[in-house]
Amino acid sequence: MPAASAIAFIVGLPSFVLVPFGPLLEGALKVHAHQALLQPAGPCSIFTPVHDGTLHRLFPSAKFDEPLKRYTAWKIGGPADALLEPKSADEVVAAVNAARENDVPVTVLGGGTNVLVRDGGIRGLTIRLAKSLTNVEADGTSVIADAGVLYPVLANTTAAKGLAGLEFATGIPGTVGGAVFMNAGAYGSETTEVLDWADVFEADAGEVVRMKNEDLRLSYRRSILHEHPDWLVLRAGYTLRPGDAESLKARIKEFRAQRMNGSPNRPSCGSTFKRPPGDFPGRVIEAAGLKGTRVGNLEVSPVHANYLVNLGGGTAEDALKLIELVRNTVREKLGVELESEVRVIGEP
C-alpha cells in the first residue's frame, strides 16, 4: 500500500482509525494526497516506511528520531521519525505540501495535552505548533492568535490588555488550534462564545480559507474539522469585550487556583472522559470505586478520578488498558457510557 499523508491537530487533530480498545479513535488523520483512508489498527504500520534520506532532504531543520514523550503532558510517546517546529504559517503550509507531494505522512501536534502518543511513535513528519506559531495581535476588541499559542497564555495576554471573554481559557492547557478543533471550554464557557473566525488550510485544495464561527459548526468538544482530516487551523480571530485588566487578572487567578486545588500534581492528559448526560465523569468513576486503580504505571488519580496519571515510566499500552478498564467498569456497575476525550496517535 502506498504511503498515506496524514494530518492531525492535537488538541490538535485526531484521526478516525479504530484502535483495539472499544470506541477510542486513533488521533492521526491518515489522508492520501486525494482521499482519506479508514484502516483498522494492527500490530504493523499502515504506512510504507519513509527513507531517512527523504526526510532529511525535505525537512533539514527537523529533529530526527525524537522522543515525543518530551512534548506530551502525559510524558508518554515513542519517537517521531522527524519533528519540525515551524517559524511561520507559510512554513507549515510548505511542509505539508512537500510531504503530500512525496507521500510522507504528516501529524500536527499542538500543546501535547489531551493526546496519547503510542509507544511505537509516529512515522513520517510530525509538525509541532506549540511554542512555534505564537504571535498574538490586538486591535480594539479584536484579537488574532496563531494556532500554536497556548490558551492560558492567550487568556493572560488579553486580560492584561483589558479585554474580557477568554478568562476561561486559563483552565485549558492546549493551543488555539486545538481549542478551535475541539471547541474547548471550561468554567461554564466555550470557545464558540468568543471565536469570530479561523484561517484553515485545506490541504487537498491547497488553499487557506477564512471560516466564520457558524461555518465551523462548533458544538460540545466538536467542530466541522472532525469531518475533514485534511484541514488544519493556522490562526484564529476573536471578538472580546472591554474590561478592567486588574479584575480580569484576578478572575484568572481564581480559576487557576480552582484548577490547581482539584488537579493531581502528576503527568496526565487532563480530563480523560467527556461529561455523560446529566453527570460528571469524575463522580461516576469514583462511584464505581475506581480511584487509585492502576494498570502498570498508570493510575486513576486519588485526587480527581477523571485524571489518569503517569506515576513514572508509564506506557501508552498501560493508558489504553486503563481507559478501557474504567469504561467497562462504569458501564457494568452504573450503566453509564463514558466517551474518551483522548486523541490516540502513532503506532503500537
Cα dihedral sign, 286-182-149-246: negative
CB-side neighbour CA atoms (13 Å) of 17 = 27
Average pLDDT over residues 287-302: 97
Q: What is the pLDDT of residues 208-241, one digit of tens each?
A: 999 999 999 999 889 999 899 789 999 999 999 9
Average pLDDT over residues 50-58: 86
Name the least confident of 36-40, 145-149, 178-182, 201-205: 36-40
pLDDT tier at 13 (50, 70, 90 boundaries)?
very low
Distance CA 96, CA 4 (A): 12
Is the pLDDT at 92 greater than 90? The verdict is: yes
Average pLDDT over residues 118-122: 97
pLDDT tier at 262 (50, 70, 90 boundaries)?
low
Distance CA 14, CA 292 (A): 29
Share of the chain above pLDDT 70, in %: 85
For the chain, what is the mean pLDDT?
85
Name the least confident of 4-13, 129-138, 177-186, 291-300: 4-13
pLDDT tier at 270 (50, 70, 90 boundaries)?
confident
Question: Counting beta carbons within 10 angstroms of the beta carbon of residue 340, is it exposed (0 to 12), middle (13 to 18) or buried (19 or more)?
Answer: buried
Average pLDDT over residues 97-117: 92
Q: What is the pLDDT of residues 68-90, one digit of tens each?
A: 999 999 999 999 999 999 999 99
Residues contacting 91, CB < 8 A, separation 6+:
none
Catalytic residues: 221, 271, 341
pTM exceeding 0.85: no
Is the pLDDT at 20 greater than 60? The verdict is: no
